[in-house]
Amino acid sequence: MSDPTSSDRAAHVQEGWVRAPLARFLTLNVETVDVDPEQTYPTVGVLNRGRGLLYRDPVAGSSTSYKKLNRIGPRALVYSRLKAFEGAITVTPDDLPESFASQEFPTFAFSSDADPDFFRILATTQRMWNALQGASKGMGGRRERVKPADFLNISMDIPPLPVQERIVEVIGAVDAQITALDAEADVLDELWWALGREMAATVAGEATVPLASFCDISGGLTKNKKDLEQLDLVEVPYLRVANVHRHHLNLSEVATIQTTQAKAEKLRLLPGDVLMNEGGDKDKLGRGHVWEDQIPDCIHQNHVFRVRVTDQRFDPYFVSGWGNTFGQKWFETFGTQTTGIASINRATLSRFPIPDVPLSVQQDWAGRLGAVVETLDSLRGQAGSLRAARASLVSGLLDRTIDIESAELEV
Residue 180 resides in a domain: no
Residues 213 and 281 in one domain: yes
Whether pLDDT at 404 is above 90: no
The overall average pLDDT reported for the chain is: 91
H or E element at residue 195: helix 161-202
Q: What's the pLDDT at 65?
A: 92
**Which of 129, 158, 187 is a domain's end point?**
158
In CATH, what number is assigned to the domain containing residue 151?
Answer: 3.90.220.20
**Poorest-pLDDT segment among 67-76, 218-227, 357-366:** 218-227
Looking at the fold, whether 149 and 218 belong to one and the same domain comes out as no
- Say whether both 46 and 149 belong to one domain: yes
CB distance 325 to 193 below 8 Å: yes
Q: Does a structural domain hold residue 65?
A: yes
**Residue-range definition of the domain harbouring residue 234:** 207-356
pLDDT digits (tens, 9 = 90+) for 165-213: 999 999 999 999 999 999 999 999 999 999 999 999 999 999 999 999 9
In a domain, 144, yes or no: yes
pLDDT band at residue 406 under the 50/70/90 scheme: low
Residue 138 lies in a domain: yes
Return the pLDDT at 15. 72
The three-point CA angle 142-144-146 to 5° equals: 130
The residues with which 304 forms a beta bridge, in sequence order, are 277
Q: What is the pLDDT of residues 273-298, one digit of tens each?
A: 999 999 877 888 899 999 999 999 99
What is residue 169's predicted lDDT score, i.e. its pLDDT? 96
Please report whether residue 254 resides in a domain.
Answer: yes
**Whether residue 135 sits in one domain with residue 42:** yes
Dihedral sign, CA of 338, 341, 342, 346?
Answer: negative
With 60 as the cut, is the pLDDT of residue 313 above it? yes
Residues 70 and 132 reside in one and the same domain: yes
Q: Residue 4 falls within a domain, yes or no? A: no
Of 161, 37, 30, nearest in space to 100 by CA? 30
Contact present, 333 and 351 (Cβ < 8 Å): no
pLDDT tier at 263, thresholds 50, 70, 90: very high
Question: Is residue 32 located within the same domain as residue 110?
Answer: yes
The answer on 227 and 141 residing in a single domain is: no
Residues sharing a CB contact under 8 Å with residue 248, sequence separation 6 or more, in sequence order: 289, 373, 377
What pLDDT shows up at residue 9?
Answer: 46
- Together in a domain, 112 and 213: no
Domains contained in the chain, number: 2
3 state SS of 279: strand
Please identify, among 330, 356, 382, the residue that sits at the C-terminal boundary of a domain: 356
47 and 127 share one domain: yes
pLDDT in tens, 76-108: 999 999 999 999 999 999 999 999 999 999 999
User: Do 108 and 28 fall within a single domain?
Assistant: yes
Instruction: Give this prediction's pTM.
Output: 0.80
393 found inside a domain: no
| pLDDT attached to residue 14 | 55
Do residue 147 and residue 226 come from a single domain? no
Whether residue 362 is contained in a domain is answered as no
pLDDT-derived band at 157 (thresholds 50, 70, 90) equals very high
Same domain, residue pair 147 and 211: no
The domain boundary residue, chosen from 356, 372, 387: 356
For residue 277, what are the β-bridge partners? 304
